[in-house]
Structure 1
């Protein structure tokens, strides 16, 4: 069973993430490529450090080879944004990355990219699913990997230097060099070490690295940079007197940040900091784009700048599309993914890390102090987050309640409107909001609430949870 969610196809290894399904997906994409008349172009393929990722990449290229479609294989564990960069650089129509990003270790998956190095739209993934439905098992053929290499149908490439240089060429290296910052990097047993460490060392930072060995179990923790998974990084930043701690998720497209005091900087605040820095210090102008579960501080800031902040559904493909449509300056999400105009059209934790080091070097003040200044100017915004794993039956019951009966609780706060753009989002007249939505990558229900204070946000979130019997 192959279904694409907000971040590609993801499944538990041995259940739906199998050789048979990956070969099925590969042939479906081959047929779509032919239908679009793109069979003369190579397909870029990469993989991360997850269990079976490297082997799965070979299963896929062997199906393409059997169908006479050339592939360019990045044959080492690489960041997802590097593969997106290569799709953009080679000006090809399709690319694939074998990863399940920040999901638990028992998952793996496939991300599909299209022209410009962007996440495939729902239209594209719907077309792939439609092709899958028409394929019979005897249709699938595979060529031996060594033969595919000999025939020139698979070419092994290494675009790492060009990707690194593309970031070095757009950051203010001289300002970083003057600061001699001490940075502690946590790749979370993922794939960002070589690229991000090389960039920061080139800028004369002192960089130490933790959790960098190859561990397909990710040290027994979720490879997602959040407040609960970065406690060790926080402790080490304080103990070692580092200026900054940077973490990236399993495939390095998301970022987490720890300031010099050991404080976790929420991804919402990372977005706010960068939008402020790019606009006020670098003089870059433009709108912002965020998803439905991301801070409205961006809206307040954009309004002050004379710009607009656009709201889109969850899934970075929606952010990329809206940024392209509006020529927005920055786009991001509350889970740590972001990009900036002029870079790839997808999220990039490596580029974000380099840009944050530049920001710290230029502003010269602790991040917490900069954030206090921002909130004094644009208002106070505090977020509460809640996750709950769902059975299929419970999920359907709640979907019926929220999206068919369209019931919401009495919050004790005046409601402005309710939106069903993605999930059920209630906007309050005081500027706060709460959203309940189902994850597109895991069997999880999520509730996000943003109010003027943490206490208010927790209170509203609790009302929603009680209403849903969670």
Structure 2
């Protein structure tokens, strides 16, 4: 079964992620593209098991349908592929990746005009096309033959992508600072891109976990306080100014400051938004999803700007950014983008901008965070993911969405939103959300309060109420 979630289609290798399903997905997408007179397509892949082969299988179907494929024949960060869709003025592109999912997953992210994640309407249409066909309907052309007939063109956007980011940051300020940076690609695809940018800016760069390992060293390729343990230790022990971790396909990042503290993605968003307005003099609203810190609301208010809340899924963020001409948009899972760049997450660009921020302000991240919290208060978030089976999901859906029941919380409730999941707003300014993951069989429960103890308390109350 092919069903797109918030971050594309993802499935376990050998179960639903199979050659036949990839061919059906490609044929369904090709059918949609032909109807729209879209006859060119850019395609790339990450370091996961079967990613390169899967990209070739999709390219063969596209070529078989008369669609010209620009094939990035080396591992590529997802944002580089999105950048290519934008720069080549294409209507469609795709990346073979399961991003931060476990190693036994792979998937496909589809991109549309401007280099953005495909909207729910578009992925629904692709699913509908797939449901109309069988393997007998799949048209394909051998990959090598397609290259000879120029139906598949080998393409490398690396230089253009790198040069674009270099032109977006203050390279001279970074050069003058001569920072020491430790990079953890988490066995993913960011190494070459980010290392090239940082070394061009005369940073001293060292790497860990940079070899090719389709098992990601036995860890989840998602940058978090738990998975970046070695990065934290090495930053402190070896005296680095900054530690940067990126997820499997480099569209998200995690940061370790000079003291070894993990900087939560919420704080990364706040730091960059604050920096762009206070230190660079830019202005504009901010867009966040409903599971991302309300500290952004306070910063926006402090600078006379608006903060817009949207459902989970970066396609919602990019659409709202375009609608409101927002300066920055992002989510608590570590993905963000800035006005004027691609309309999707880019961990490589975000990391480069953080390095610029340290250089321009001449302040370490810990000091900049102190500056923000002194002005706008403390915001602490608790995050949990609870697994369930199919039967459990039906029970939980009934409680939360059909019966619309919530716990008797220790804090007075102001209102409840069902925009995406169940989000309870408390009168003390805090909140809690419970929503089903769009990429994994998990119920995600996030809460934010002015201290971590209160946040954990309401999470426990939700957990106990749902009996999970």
Query: Fold conserved (TM > 0.5)?
Result: yes
Report the counterpart of residue 384 of structure 1 in structure 2: 382
Root-mean-square deviation (CA, aligned residues, Å) is 0.6
Query: Equivalences for 1:354-365 in 2 at 5 Å?
Result: 354-365=352-363
SS of structure 1 residue aligned to 2:266: helix
Query: Equivalences for 1:380-419 in 2 at 5 Å?
Result: 380-419=378-417
SS of structure 2 residue aligned to 1:298: helix
Q: 2:55 aligns with which of 47, 54, 57?
A: 57
- Residues 244-275 of structure 1, C-alpha deviation per residue, up to 9 Å, x if partnerless? 00000000000000001100000000000000
Report the counterpart of residue 168 of structure 1 in structure 2: 166
Q: In the aligned structure 1, how far is the partner of 2:383 from the partner of 2:246?
A: 20
User: 2:64·2:140 contact (CA, 8 Å) conserved in 1?
Assistant: yes
Report the counterpart of residue 22 of structure 1 in structure 2: 22
Q: 1:420 aligns with which of 408, 418, 421?
A: 418
Query: Equivalences for 1:36-435 in 2 at 5 Å?
Result: 36-39=36-39, 42-435=40-433
Report the counterpart of residue 457 of structure 1 in structure 2: 455
Deviation at 1:143, TM superposition (A): 1.1
- Residues 427-470 of structure 1, C-alpha deviation per residue, up to 9 Å, x if partnerless? 01111000001100000111000001111111111111111112
- Residues 126-175 of structure 1, C-alpha deviation per residue, up to 9 Å, x if partnerless? 00001011112211122111110011100000110100000000100111
- Residues 374-415 of structure 1, C-alpha deviation per residue, up to 9 Å, x if partnerless? 111111100011111111111111011000000000112111
Q: In the aligned structure 2, how far is the partner of 1:18 from the partner of 1:332?
A: 32
Query: Equivalences for 1:427-446 in 2 at 5 Å?
Result: 427-446=425-444
Question: How many positions carry a matched residue from both structures?
Answer: 468
Q: In the aligned structure 2, how far is the partner of 1:38 from the partner of 1:99?
A: 23
Q: In the aligned structure 2, how far is the partner of 1:24 from the partner of 1:448?
A: 36
- Residues 177-203 of structure 1, C-alpha deviation per residue, up to 9 Å, x if partnerless? 111000000000000000000000000
SS of structure 1 residue aligned to 2:444: strand
Report the counterpart of residue 5 of structure 2 in structure 1: 5
Q: In the aligned structure 1, how far is the partner of 2:38 from the partner of 2:141?
A: 21
- Residues 78-107 of structure 1, C-alpha deviation per residue, up to 9 Å, x if partnerless? 100000000000000000100000000000
Deviation at 1:345, TM superposition (A): 0.3
Report the counterpart of residue 33 of structure 1 in structure 2: 33
Question: Which stretches in structure 1 are left out of the alignment for 5+ residues?
Answer: none
User: 2:251·2:335 contact (CA, 8 Å) conserved in 1?
Assistant: yes
Q: In the aligned structure 2, how far is the partner of 1:191 from the partner of 1:137?
A: 32
Q: In the aligned structure 2, how far is the partner of 1:373 from the partner of 1:236?
A: 26
Q: In the aligned structure 2, how far is the partner of 1:267 from the partner of 1:38?
A: 37
Q: In the aligned structure 2, how far is the partner of 1:96 from the partner of 1:449?
A: 34
Farther off after superposition, 391-400 or 184-193 = 391-400
User: 2:23·2:135 contact (CA, 8 Å) conserved in 1?
Assistant: no
Question: Which stretches in structure 2 are left out of the alignment for 5+ residues?
Answer: none
Q: In the aligned structure 1, how far is the partner of 2:154 from the partner of 2:97?
A: 19
Q: In the aligned structure 2, how far is the partner of 1:315 from the partner of 1:354?
A: 23
SS of structure 2 residue aligned to 1:426: strand
Q: In the aligned structure 2, how far is the partner of 1:278 from the partner of 1:378?
A: 16
Q: Which 4+ runs in 1 deviate beyond 4 A?
A: none
Q: In the aligned structure 2, how far is the partner of 1:367 from the partner of 1:152?
A: 49
Q: In the aligned structure 2, how far is the partner of 1:35 from the partner of 1:378?
A: 51
Deviation at 1:307, TM superposition (A): 0.6
Q: In the aligned structure 2, how far is the partner of 1:226 from the partner of 1:96?
A: 26
SS of structure 1 residue aligned to 2:73: strand
